[in-house]
Structure 1
């Protein structure tokens, strides 16, 4: 929504079409309530899109809608993640991958996605840097740093690796029992199988997020696909970040922000413990500054100007911004008592497997019925 507001400020007339059904007045109020922006022309549904100079798809199944519009216009595609990774191998994953081949001009959030489209599909894309609103995310003089870790815990989003983060923090608590653990980013009722003492903050405002980042010594955010915006916001607040080492991070995550770890509980714990032991180390983000959010929006407006003028993205080599080696667990960190090892090694369906076979069968039958009805 910040991009759309930036276009309006730049003089563009914007019509927003939301997924779903409802009255236009409700659509406007929903956008204002959820995103804080007021737009005059907001509609529910994609069946009656008015002619425009440019139409932008924002999710894989809207790309097909934009491709098949009955009027002539420029067509772009705001690619915010590699959405095929959100699904098991099948229809949704295949169609999400296919959406990049519809001839729309891609605009990617981050440079990893740009390299993915070029490498996998031979498609050139414009790319935007991850920006931060530094009026919100910034160091605060009145907050005292604690020996604490904050983890954005979102068990409803598999790509946010909730189980991996919890297991890593359990290992941290074993080796550094005085460390405070703060979970946030989901309803408190969603905290499942958290087997150590912690504080669940629930869903908190951006300003409260910034206060939390100023209070902690390490920020933990795990993303198995395109980077979240959260690590950049943590870094802008002066909080060193621990993230997953992987191709999706190397093009956008900067070395000044923190460290990238092998995707195992022990190695992530190693990264957290490393920063906790030396909280003033330059490995963190205390001296780094991220690009302000207003610049990211301006980048988007500039790209849209190019698209309107008929320009297309050029071929370019994208350099990795992170070149440090992957953090791996030391033997000391991996040396754990049986009770911790059992927790970390327990399969995801361990609780289900402890149920009586008849009850497991009934639960499986019920889940299949619900899934079938939802899909039909």
Structure 2
């Protein structure tokens, strides 16, 4: 079997990206390969293997601090945009792979970092992407061929629990530390939902960061995987927003039978099925409309719940990791790439809110006057007058 080197960034507690990398490395080891994990931290403290075990509950024998301490291997895998150039410049002969979990250029303002992240796709590494949209994008934008594996979920954890009673509730993966997860947009949408349906329970989870939220809610913070599944089983709608590659969260929600609301953007068209997800225009009003439509329609919710569960029934993590393993073997054997066109899964029209005066005022009334005053101070003088009018409406003057 082969020796495979992984060059991964500094570990982050609760990181789904790190967990995915390590799950695939662990699977390859079970298939007989020898994986060497190189952590970015050049001056790491403590046993590197124990550090991974303590955070992600996975044990590896070969974990080394510092990328520069790498030794020859059969395959070298870049896992973050700034590791691509490093892997491309390794001074020993090997197959070079780029494990792409997101379009990282979009994590940065348009400038040097944005362009350097895009450059990472052009160093001659063979990409293996999570999901179809990324593979489609790399081919369409950079003429780079690669492999992909489908989004999966741990079906031993994410599943229906009939004994849990459903609440009239929405859960939102709230991660303000990750701009691509659009926490502000999600809160604005949920504020509208709470205004129009005051008896709906709102759960936020996914981050220990707790900012001011102007409507009644429960912020659960970071919760473990089993608690996530329990949350999905007691809610009626799951909200997960991604402005780049889809999150893994919607697939875990679907496995638990929870209908999903996401944004109607191209990055979601290739991996999310229209039978189990509602994609809405990216305005808070439209996202709220999709959530309210599901909360108000038992038949639609039940249909989507069943469809999501059926969509995920053959997508256990071992299917995902096996597809990654097959891609690695294709790279080792120098196999040709598939020329099959990647088709969209989601072809439905977006959910759109009707922008009547009543609906607009409904949205305005969720905004606390104190927030409006703070927003006004950030605007040029010429734009403050319209906001003052809104402020007077909110105050009822």
Q: Normalized against structure 1, the TM-score is what?
A: 0.89
Q: Return the offset for 1:257.
A: 2.1
Q: What does residue range 79-158 of structure 1 map to in structure 2 within 5 Å? A: 79-158=100-179
Q: Does 1:175 align with 2:199?
A: no
Distance 1:347 1:138 in 2: 42
Aligned to 2:275, the other structure's residue is in SS state helix
Note if contact 1:139-1:238 (Cα within 8 Å) is conserved in structure 2. yes
Name which of 318, 336, 340 aligns with 1:294.
318
Q: Return the offset for 1:280.
A: 3.4
Unaligned stretches of 5+ in structure 1? 355-376
Aligned to 2:304, the other structure's residue is in SS state coil
Distance 1:15 1:334 in 2: 56
Corresponding residue for 1:165? 186
Aligned to 1:256, the other structure's residue is in SS state coil
Note if contact 2:49-2:63 (Cα within 8 Å) is conserved in structure 1. yes
Q: Return the offset for 1:331.
A: 4.2
Distance 2:53 2:363 in 1: 51
Name which of 361, 365, 373 aligns with 1:340.
365
Aligned to 1:239, the other structure's residue is in SS state coil
Distance 1:106 1:112 in 2: 13
Distance 2:68 2:183 in 1: 37
Q: Does 1:285 align with 2:298?
A: no
Q: Which moved more, 1:242-251 or 1:278-287?
A: 278-287
Post-superposition Cα deviations, 1:174-210, rounded to whole Å, max 9, x if no partner, equal 11000000000011xx232311000011100000000
Q: Return the offset for 1:285.
A: 2.7
Q: Does 1:227 align with 2:246?
A: yes
Q: Return the offset for 1:345.
A: 12
Unaligned stretches of 5+ in structure 2? 1-21, 380-397
Q: Does 1:216 align with 2:213?
A: no
Note if contact 2:286-2:351 (Cα within 8 Å) is conserved in structure 1. yes
Corresponding residue for 1:367? none
State how many pairs are aligned.
Answer: 352
Q: Which moved more, 1:16-25 or 1:152-161?
A: 16-25
Corresponding residue for 1:34? 55
Please provide the CA RMSD for this pair. Answer: 2.1
Note if contact 1:231-1:241 (Cα within 8 Å) is conserved in structure 2. yes
Q: Does 1:309 align with 2:330?
A: no
Aligned to 1:280, the other structure's residue is in SS state helix
Aligned to 1:40, the other structure's residue is in SS state coil
Q: Return the offset for 1:342.
A: 4.2
Q: Does 1:17 align with 2:38?
A: yes
Name which of 282, 288, 298 aligns with 1:269.
288
Aligned to 2:69, the other structure's residue is in SS state coil
Note if contact 1:267-1:327 (Cα within 8 Å) is conserved in structure 2. yes
Corresponding residue for 2:278? 259
Distance 1:337 1:287 in 2: 33
Corresponding residue for 1:70? 91
Q: Normalized against structure 2, the TM-score is what?
A: 0.84
Note if contact 2:285-2:363 (Cα within 8 Å) is conserved in structure 1. no
Note if contact 1:7-1:14 (Cα within 8 Å) is conserved in structure 2. yes
Corresponding residue for 1:207? 226
Aligned to 2:262, the other structure's residue is in SS state strand
